[in-house]
Amino acid sequence: MLKYTVWFAPDEWRYFSVKMRWTTIKQEHRLNREIRVREVRLIDETGKQLGIYPTREALRVAEERGLDLVEIAPNANPPVCRLLDYSKFLYERSRREREARKAQRQTEIKEIQVRPKTAEHDVEFKLNRAREFLGEGAKVRVRIRFRGREITHQDLAMELMERVASEMSDVAVVEQRPILEGRTMLMVLAPSSKTPTA
C-alpha cells in the first residue's frame, strides 16, 4: 500500500492510500529488446528479405529507420523478425477486425405465436407480419401453443403448420420441420434466396 499526497485546496494537504495492482499485458509478439536470440532472419517493411543479422545489428537497423523489430516466427531457425511500426500495425489490424464485424450480418429470429383455435383473420395477420420479418432478412419461428386438452388435437396444429409453410413458400423455406416440444409445436422458416432483403 502506497501513500500519496494530493493538493485539494489552498493550504490544505490530505493523505490517502491506494492499492497498487500490477497487471501484465500479454503481447503476442516480442518487440525490440525483448528478443533474446543471437541472430534473426530480417525482413524489411516492404517484405524484402535482408538476410540473417545478429540481433543487435537488426535492432540498430530498426532504430535507424524509426521502426520496431517484431518477432513474427519465433519457432523458425533462426527466428524471423520484421521491421514495422508496431502500434500502426495493431491499429490497422483492430480496424480491419472492426470492419469485418460490421460486415457480418447477425441473423435475427423473430417469432409468431398462434393456437390451434386461432381465428382465420388472426392467422392471416400473423402471416403478414412473418412476411415482413422475412423481407427484412430475419428467420421466423412459428410457435403453436397448446392449452389444456388442446394437446390431444396435434393433427389440427400440424395442418396449420403445413398451411403456413405452403402460404409462405414464395418468400421462405422451411429450415426446421414442425416438432413438438412439451406443450408447443415449433417450425422455423428462413428467407428464401429470392426474397429481397432490406
What number is the average pLDDT over the span 142-165?
89
Share of residues in the chain with pLDDT > 70 (%)? 83
Q: Where in the chain is the domain with CATH 3.30.110.10?
A: 109-191
What number is the average pLDDT over the span 91-109?
84
Q: Where in the chain is the domain with CATH 3.10.20.80?
A: 30-102
CATH 3.10.20.80 assigned to 30-102 = yes
Q: What is the pLDDT of residues 117-148, one digit of tens each?
A: 888 899 899 999 999 988 888 899 999 999 88
Question: What is the pTM assigned to this prediction?
Answer: 0.47
* Sequence-separated (6 or more) residues with CB below 8 Å from residue 71: 29, 30, 31, 34, 35, 40, 79, 80, 81
CA distance 173 to 13: 73
Quote the pLDDT of residue 153: 82
On the CB side of 119, CA atoms within 13 Å amount to 3
109-191 CATH pick, 3.30.499.10, 3.30.110.10, 1.10.730.10, 3.40.140.10 = 3.30.110.10
Quote the pLDDT of residue 35: 84
Share the mean pLDDT of the chain: 81
Q: What is the pLDDT of residues 39-63, one digit of tens each?
A: 999 888 888 888 888 989 989 988 8
CA distance 180 to 191: 23
